[in-house]
Structures are given as C-alpha cells and as structure tokens.
A and B are shown apart, each in its own frame.
Chain A
Amino acid sequence: MTREAIFNDLNEIFADVLDLGDLSLTEATIADDVEEWDSLSHIRLVVSIEQHYGFKFTTAEIEALKSVGDLVDCIQKKTG
C-alpha cells in the first residue's frame, strides 16, 4: 500500500475514534498534537486499525510507535 492510501485510511479512522471533524495527520503528528488522543483512546485507535486491516499488532510494535509516521511504517510492513 502507498503511504498516501494509508494516510487516507488513518485520517478516517482517527476521526471516527476521536470523534473529531476532518483532521489531517502528517508523518510527524504525535499524540500531544491531537485533541482527545490520550492513552485510553489510543487503545481504541489500535484496535480500530487492527480491525480495518485485519491484522494484529504485537505488543512490541505498539510500544515502538512514537509518531503517525512510525504507525504508517508499521502498517506498510504488515500489509506487505
């Protein structure tokens, strides 16, 4: 999958999980940048991404995520 396609998916998933209007994530976006993105909604984010792509993250993968860019890397790797 292209990074652009993944960004499109993530924008939708983030809006749904965080109940926000349109938002545009960038490679550098981190939790502190987005209203409502706290440790609780983070879990729902992860599960919603897993449901969307039909895979599961490992605990180590989740712990390594620092920014949206890392997340996109990880999704790219897992979807091949």
Chain B
Amino acid sequence: MAVFSIEELNWLRPAPSDFRAKLRALDPTIEIEALVELANHALDLNKLTQLNRALGKVDPAQAKDAALSSVRLAVLADATTEYIAPAIRASALRHGIFTTLYVPDYGQATQEVLNPESGLTSFGADMALLAPDCRSLGLATVYMNPDNAKAAVDAAIAQIRSLVDGLKRTAIPTVILQTLPIPPDPWCGHYDRRTPGSVAAQIAAFNEDLLDLAEEQSLTVLDIATLADTVGRSRWFDPAYWHRAKLPFALDCVPLYADHVARMLGTLRGKARKCLVLDLDNTCWGGVIGDDGLDGIRIGQGTAEGEAFLAIQRYALDLKTRGVVLAVCSKNEEDAARLPFQKHPDMLLREDDVSVFIANWTDKASNIRHIAKLLNIGTDALAFLDDNPAERERVRQMLPEVAVPELSDDPALYPTALAQAGYFETTGLSADDEQRADQYRANAARSVAMETIGDYGEYLKSLDMVCEARGFDDIGRTRIAQLINKSNQFNLTTRRYTEAEVAHMQQNPDLFTLQIRLADKFGDNGMISVMIFRKGTEDWICDTWLMSCRVLGRRVEEAALGLVADAARQAGAKRLIGEYIPSEKNRMVSGHFEKLGFAKTAEEADGRTIWQLDLAGYNAPAQLPMTLNSPPADAAA
C-alpha cells in the first residue's frame, strides 16, 4: 500500500473478501466479539449496513457482557439519515460502544426536539447529535448587504440554540454539535472570504459562533468542517446526490463520518487510548540498531528517510505534550535499543520521554500486557505502532483490544495513520494532561524509594504528602469529567457523567461533591479522586467514589471518608450509605466499604452490595501520613 486513503479508513485492515459470508455464518446473538472483530476492518457503506443488520439481533445485555458501553443516541439531522444511522451503529463497535439509535423521520428533527410529547422525549437518549446542513439552516444564500448576512448567521445560531435548549428540557445530558463544511463552489472566487455575504464567510462566522456556544454550555463539537477539508470539500459535497436524495454529503464519505461520530461516542464514554507503544527498528528510525549500529541507523535531517522517522518521533512527542504516555516495546538487546536514545544526536525522543521501556526477545503481546500492568491501565488503553505486519497481526490476535494501525510502506505516512485513526481523541484538555508523563515517571521513582525504605508506614511519612480537597468548581471541571469517564478499577459505581452534567452538579445543593489532589516530594499527582454524595436528611448516599490507581495504598480514601463524615455530621445526617456495583474491572474495590468500617446491609443477585456507616460510631483516623488542606465543610458542599 503506497497510498493512504483517509476516506477509505486505511489505518484499518482491508475487509476480508468473504466478509458477507463470514457475517452470515455467525450467530450474532452469541458471537458479539466476532462482530467487533469484523467491525475493526475498513468497511464500505454496504458492509457497514450488513453489519448493522446483524447487530439488530444482539441483545443489549450481551453487549454489556462483552465490555461494550451502551449509548442511546438521538441523531437529529435535516437531511437524509437512512445511510448514516446504520453506519454509526456498526462503526461504534470499533470504539467499544453499543448504540441504540433514535432517528426521527425526514424533516421532523426540529419538531421532535421542541414537542415535549414527541417520541424523542420518551426515547430517553443519553446523547443527541445535532447534524444540520447549511442549506436547511438558511446559509446557502448570498447577500450584497453585510447586515443581511449577519442576520442570516444570527438566525442560524439562534436555531441551534433553541434546539440545544429544547434538548436540555428533554433532559438529554450530552449534546454533540457539528461545525458546517463550506460548499466548494465559490461565488466571487478568491474574494469570497473577504465579503461577509458569501456563503463561505457566513459559514465561517457560523462556525465561530457555534464554538462559542459549545464553550459557553460545555457541549461537545464534532468538527465536520475540518473533516470535509481533510478529504477535500469537492469530494465531500456531491450536488447530484443532494438533488436526487437529499444526501448531505457523498455516500463514499459516510464510513469516515460514521467512524468520527463513533470515536466521539467512545471518547465521551472514556474509551480513548492513554498510551502509545512504539516499536523501534524501522518504526522510530530506519534500519536495525543491533545490526547497523549507532552510525548506521537512519534518523535526522539530511535524508528524506531520516526526516520521515524524525516526524514520527515529533508526532509521538506532540502526543506526550498533551498527556499521552509513551512506551517502547522492541525485539532487541536492551543496551542496544537504549543506545540511540542516549547517544544519537539527532534523536528527538529521549529516555525520559518513555514511561516504560521494554526491549527483549519475548513475544510482543506478552510485553504489551506487561506494559499495561506497569502503568496500571488496561490493555484496551493502548495503541501499538509497528512497521512489521507479522507483529501487528500477532498482537491483534492475542490482544484484540489493543489498537494496532495498518501502516503504509512509506514511513512518511506513519504519523498520518496514527493521527487519522483518532485513538487519542479528547473532549477537553486540562493542566493535569500536561503533567501526566512526568507523573508516571515519578511513580517509578516512588517504587524505588519504597524498596529502599522497607517499612511501609515510614515510607508513606517520607513522601511528605499534601492532600487538597474541595467541592467541584469550574477550574476542576474538565479533569473531573475525565476521571469520571476514564476510571475503571478504583471506581465503586462506574457511573459516567459528561462535562455538562458535572457543570450542573456544581450548582446542585442536594449534592456533596469532592475533588481531591495529591502532591508529594516526587511530584504533583494532580487530581486523583472524585466523590459525589446525595444528601438526605438522615442518609448521605454515595453516588460516585473513584480514585486514580496511581495513588493506591496512600490512605487518601481514609482522608476522604473523614471529610464526608464531617460534612454529613454538620448537616445533621446519621448515616453514610455506600454502594458497590461490580463491573468487569473494579473487583479491587469490592471490599472497599468493609475496610473503611461500613456494615453490609444488602446484596443483590447481580452482585451489587449496599453498605452503611453509622456516623455516631465513626472515628476519623487520628494520624494520616499527609497534610490535609480542605475548606470548611459548608464551603466544600
């Protein structure tokens, strides 16, 4: 493969030639993993449609068993959606999501949103995708008078705003907006961007206003304008099919569009990847370090090949800048593999950019599993870049949950594959993201410190921990939402809330919320724990209690309980009620409430347990190995 086609999803493997036969041979009611495996190929619209049909036979309960998160999605579009909806549903499997869709009839979207009696209201969506078209928003007409152009843009934004308000009334917690692509045919040509009355200028102004609206209301944005630019607007728009069937964009672009919708659903459900695992030989530099030696490998300015590998390293570092953890997994002698990082003057990647460095002759799948373990994250949080097709295939077979992009023969296109696959999609950036790689490295330093000190209590004291706790606020909001959506292991209830929902919680007087940060002498861990309690007169009920596994065993949970107990007592409550909902990944906290002195009051058939702590009999731990800074309880509440 010497070309890389974005609209054909070339970071995915080509579909098997007997795709339809394979699909027909499956029993979708029991082989949902096999459906996910098929979804992980580059599928055209016909294949997506076939896969969607098989998905129709799957029971949502089974999807949950297969570790797919469920999303009830309302697709609210002005144009024809019959082709988009099945494609979204099938593509969602690729991103760990099982969707149930609600798609109003053609032209009914606005009415459905504004009518409280509509099917949309009774559907009970978790998320709504607003996918308007410039032609139905009144942005396809040109004006000589700038005032008229401004009025058209304002009216279009007002229409979106009223839909967003309507969706809020429908209690749909998460709204995804789309920017509008600019149709390719100009009006005045090169002057279009300079005259407000052109369609190009109106749509550009609309998109700016839309981003402001999203910022103001913490909404998610799918940047379809940029997506259309990426494939080319003259390919994206297809006037013949707009006239024939009101298709908002070319049918060939539906698989790409659907994958972008699906990756956003996955991201909102915390499925984005956290770590990039890099092979070395012929992935990070040209040649084989063990054979070619330090002066034989191709890396650096001066040759096209060396610059191409430099660009891969640059992209990996760009990811690290926003909190993606980097790891190395290479078949090499470790000394040889580390040599370029230490000694080669042209290398951009250095040893301290890499959180886990594994070079040996063991099978890569085992090494990748080991990397996940050392980082305390799931293997489903990894993406693996390797030029060798055999290694890629092996890792896919052993660890189908690891994202492994297909690569073209030309290393110049590796960054494109990695970037276009969208493994590290995000809905927001926080200050914590910037520090994450340092935090993972500091963690390794702590493990070494513990080995030398020996006594665990002494070790904790030696860390000089400072714990900061306060209620939810604007500054913490993005990170709070990230933790709520990403934490799997130390998470008692695994309830997911979007950033917009977290914003509502800040204002809700019936909730007691806490965000907790922890620093120590090795570094700042940033925000590491989030709690939400529902306040009753007698009982305060734990809705959410989660903590980052990075700070496991640091007694933060005891400090946190002390804070909640204090606040509850001051409010006159008698008891704290805890709830443990078992998931695939949170077994480590099944005994959490018991350890903290709660008594079990109920155990459900599905494994859910309910716990109770009488505040009268509770004594906060006398000495915790940390300085605790928290505002008075009433302020925190």
Contacts and interface: CB of A to CB of B under 8 A. Distances in A.
A47 B20 contact: no
Contacts of A40: 82-83
A17 interface: yes
A59 B244 contact: yes
Contact of A48 (B46, B241, B243): B46
B130 to A, nearest CB: 23
B240 A19 contact: no
Contacts of A19: 20, 46, 49-50, 53
A43 interface: yes
A38 to B, nearest CB: 10
Interface residues of A, number: 13
A79 interface: no
A75 B305 CA distance: 45
The 7 A-B pairs with the shortest beta carbon distances in the complex, nearest first, are A47-B251, A19-B50, A16-B46, A40-B82, A43-B245, A17-B46, A19-B53
Nearest to B47: A16
Nearest to B52: A19
B22 to A, nearest CB: 13
A44 B20 contact: no
Interface residues of B, number: 17
A59 B251 CA distance: 16
30 contacts: A16-B20, A16-B46, A16-B47, A17-B46, A17-B49, A19-B20, A19-B46, A19-B49, A19-B53, A40-B82, A40-B83, A43-B83, A43-B244, A43-B245, A43-B247, A43-B251, A44-B45, A44-B46, A44-B49, A44-B83, A44-B251, A47-B45, A47-B241, A47-B251, A47-B252, A48-B46, A59-B240, A59-B243, A59-B244, A62-B244
Interface string A1-35: 00000000000000111010000000000000000
Interface of B: 20, 45-47, 49-50, 53, 82-83, 240-241, 243-245, 247, 251-252
A72 B82 CA distance: 27
A56 interface: yes
Contacts of A15: 20
B152 to A, nearest CB: 29
Given A16-B50, A56-B240, 8 more contacts: A15-B20, A16-B47, A17-B49, A19-B46, A40-B82, A43-B241, A43-B247, A47-B251
Contacts of B49: 17, 19, 44
A73 to B, nearest CB: 20
A47 B251 CA distance: 7
